[in-house]
Structure 1
């Protein structure tokens, strides 16, 4: 790719952390603000505080208007509800680029239909903004990357270009199963934690919270199996508890959004699961998952007024 760069759309906690780690590896990185068009480019020092080390890099932040063409890899780290707008802006750009969605949720890739190279990633890292251009970062394990249509041409090259020692990725030919596994865990984390107004570690500290998460997992696994996706409830629960343990003290993104009166991504989690159950004519299979999602939607709406 001519003048190949890595463009990170979304300057939140994950986007900033990944930008720093990539630049640490001497990659050409630029942050792109997807929702704003009329601001000048800026270059700021971004600090990432990890478990054992602190990293600082000067990162350029621009907008789509500031890009004449796009050549390289576009990492989408913005909220999923912005995807329709982002896809529209990318369609207006010339160049040769691959798109990688670093987002939680079901069907977040739909706005990008028609693009040649679209990959989905399941993130197993957490990051939180703690100050101006300062974030904390914790990695649970390497994040899988793949193509939903099974067309993984170029996948290894993309993984090689975005992989770093601190924020790692690996190729996964069957990404759908991983998407569902993470979505189900997030249906618990992104609803129960904000409703209890607590951090991710609640499931290892409180048996009743863990039991509620188990109910959500069982409901969602039952729905996935109706779709022909073979998942293991026990495995997902063990993974949820691992994430809960390793991100103890960290706030889930939905809770942070509610605190700051921002729109959440619950529509692509609990509420998308509910819509799928409705479409299949089995709404009763996801009763708890639906109610928790509706409560988050209501809590968010009340806070945003």
Structure 2
């Protein structure tokens, strides 16, 4: 299978690297510093069980959206803020039968992408702890499961991922799974970003457990008002993250540490937006969204 990764950051490089190790041809589309490093030295995939470099012909890299041409599967891994623009950039180059799999934070990216392209789009829920440790170097801290929405080629993609060592399942309730992941992100991402603490240390702070309970309760209330069927054990899943990913900093924390804009409007901000539309109060989520935005504005202020 030919695979293209659109937005080859930590998540895209991890899953693209795993597929390449299994024998698939993978092109990583990302920022120049990563593309240059991968072209020169190959992709370094530092996982928990191995540390390898994967180069051409299995892994190639490009800065151009046109590199998706000929792909059977596109792993769509851009920030939620860039969904429509990135979708438009790859649209002219997609094959008729290409499956585009959205590996993104948030709950509405697949729907938004379907408004841009005509190919099959399937949402995926991602449970992985990764970071870009340097140009062309992805470090895997834990987990790696995917839950995929049914689509024409979902079973083919799932089989390839499973064979590559990625635990994958196809679920008819991906919307519920996406919301469950959103709730976890709302509980951790902003707090990790504001404090610049990894999950394990974060949850040890005084009052953090109660604050997370408030955040989760608001999210659950909005989801229920929105007709979402949440999978059982959401509270347990929230506490489980700190145990399985104690050294992980949230993606929002990594964005703020680099002075970048985050996806906060698609995480806690999305809960605030839907809560306002449905008449459900969300003061805890609103406060977190506001604080992260203030930190972003401070970093981007012109002095």
TM-score by length of 1: 0.88
User: What is residue 217 of structure 1 aligned with on the other side?
Assistant: 216
User: What is residue 153 of structure 1 aligned with on the other side?
Assistant: 152
Question: What value does the CA root-mean-square deviation take over the aligned residues?
Answer: 2.5
Once the two structures are TM-superposed, the CA of residue 35 in structure 1 deviates from its matched residue by 9.6
User: What is residue 114 of structure 2 aligned with on the other side?
Assistant: 112
Provide Cα deviations, 1:197-243, integer angstroms capped at 9, x if missing partner. 201213543352122111111110011111122337x8222112211
Change (3 A) 1:65 1:182: closer
Once the two structures are TM-superposed, the CA of residue 160 in structure 1 deviates from its matched residue by 1.5
Write the mapping of 1:282-297 to structure 2, written as runs, cut at 5 A. Answer: 282=280, 285-297=281-293
CA distance in 2 between partners of 1:250 and 1:69 (Å): 34
User: What is residue 178 of structure 1 aligned with on the other side?
Assistant: 177
- 3-state SS of paired residue (1:170): strand
Write the mapping of 1:40-59 to structure 2, written as runs, cut at 5 A. Answer: 42=39, 44-58=41-55, 59=59
User: What is residue 145 of structure 2 aligned with on the other side?
Assistant: 142
Write the mapping of 1:1-305 to structure 2, written as runs, cut at 5 A. Answer: 4-33=1-30, 42=39, 44-58=41-55, 59-64=59-64, 66-67=66-67, 69-95=69-95, 96-109=97-110, 110-113=112-115, 114-140=117-143, 142-147=145-150, 152-206=151-205, 208-231=207-230, 235-282=233-280, 285-305=281-301
Assess if the C-alpha contact under 8 Å between 2:19 and 2:164 holds in 1: no
Change (3 A) 1:65 1:6: closer
Once the two structures are TM-superposed, the CA of residue 64 in structure 1 deviates from its matched residue by 3.3
Once the two structures are TM-superposed, the CA of residue 105 in structure 1 deviates from its matched residue by 0.5
CA distance in 2 between partners of 1:139 and 1:27 (Å): 23
Assess if the C-alpha contact under 8 Å between 2:4 and 2:68 holds in 1: no
Once the two structures are TM-superposed, the CA of residue 253 in structure 1 deviates from its matched residue by 0.9
Aligned residues: 294
CA distance in 2 between partners of 1:219 and 1:35 (Å): 40
CA distance in 1 between partners of 2:104 and 2:127 (Å): 11
Assess if the C-alpha contact under 8 Å between 1:139 and 1:166 holds in 2: no
Unaligned segments of structure 1, at least 5 residues: none
TM-score by length of 2: 0.88
Provide Cα deviations, 1:12-69, integer angstroms capped at 9, x if missing partner. 1111222221111011111013899xx9x93542222222322321131113355383
Assess if the C-alpha contact under 8 Å between 2:193 and 2:250 holds in 1: yes
Change (3 A) 1:64 1:19: same
